[in-house]
Structure 1
Amino acid sequence: MATASNTKLNISPMADRVVIAPLEETEEMRGGLYIPDTAKEKPQQGTVVAVGPGRMNDDGDRIPMEVSTGDRVLYGKYAGTEVSLDGDDYLIVKESDVLAVL
């Protein structure tokens, strides 16, 4: 997985979608044991790299997003859609799939 970088991502998520760069898991556990890629759990933390404008309510008013670019967030283990752009991996999730801002 890719880590967050300072390069500008050329993507604009729609409505209440958020693009997250998942943080890499470390290669070793506390005991110094090597963990192969096939045994690693999916990361649940990442950095927000792009945010949509927010969803519309029934009256046609836009509801602003609670997360912003640069926030470090926790998200559900199986949330969103994984995409690869310019050789980096990203996750596109709905704002409601973001569990917390760190």
Structure 2
Amino acid sequence: MATTVRSVKSLIPLLDRVLVQRVKAEAKTASGIFLPESSVKDLNEAKVLAVGPGALDKDGKRLPMGVNAGDRVLIPQYGGSPVKVGEEEYTLFRDSEILAKIAE
């Protein structure tokens, strides 16, 4: 079940959480043909919108995060905590669940 909030800017991830938005697959081919919704799959690529300050180790020191806001990342097909803001959907993952960072 998705949680509903009014503004994505009001979402501030805690500890090692990462707020991402999936990149939408193209619904039109390069030649201009529109694809039906049933043939367009969700991509595993997402844009990082916000990151938490990092988890605490056993000594109480902050562990650095692996990603930063604005990064493009690969995320698991399933998992995370969905959050709905208006018609847009976002997902919260733990930093350790992010599969890879995509270099520009």
Q: TM-score, normalised by structure 1?
A: 0.78
The whole-number CA distance in structure 1 between the counterparts of 2:9 and 2:21 is 11
Cα distance in structure 1, aligned partners of 2:44 and 2:76: 6
Contiguous gaps of at least 5 residues in structure 2 = 1-7
Q: How many residues align?
A: 96
Deviation of 1:34 after TM superposition, in Å, equals 5.7
**What amino acid is the match of 1:43?**
L
Identity of matched residues, %: 32
C-alpha RMSD of the superposition: 2.2
Instruction: Call closer, same or farther: CA 1:11–1:71 in 2, change over 3 Å.
Output: same
Stretches of structure 1 lacking an aligned partner (at least 5 in a row) = 1-7
The 3-state SS of whatever aligns with 1:49 is strand
1:68 aligns with 2:68: yes
Residue identity in the other structure for 2:52:
G
CA contact (8 A) 1:27 1:34 kept: yes
Partners of 2:25 and 2:33 lie apart in 1 by: 14
AA partner of residue 70 (structure 1): G
Determine helix, strand or coil for the equivalent of 1:84. strand
1:33 Cα deviation from its structure 2 partner: 7.4
* 1:29 Cα deviation from its structure 2 partner: 6.2
SS at match of 1:96: helix
**1:4 corresponds to which residue?**
none
Contact conserved, 1:23 with 1:45, CA < 8 A, in 2?
A: yes
Name the CA distance, whole Å, in 2 between partners of 1:84 and 1:69: 19
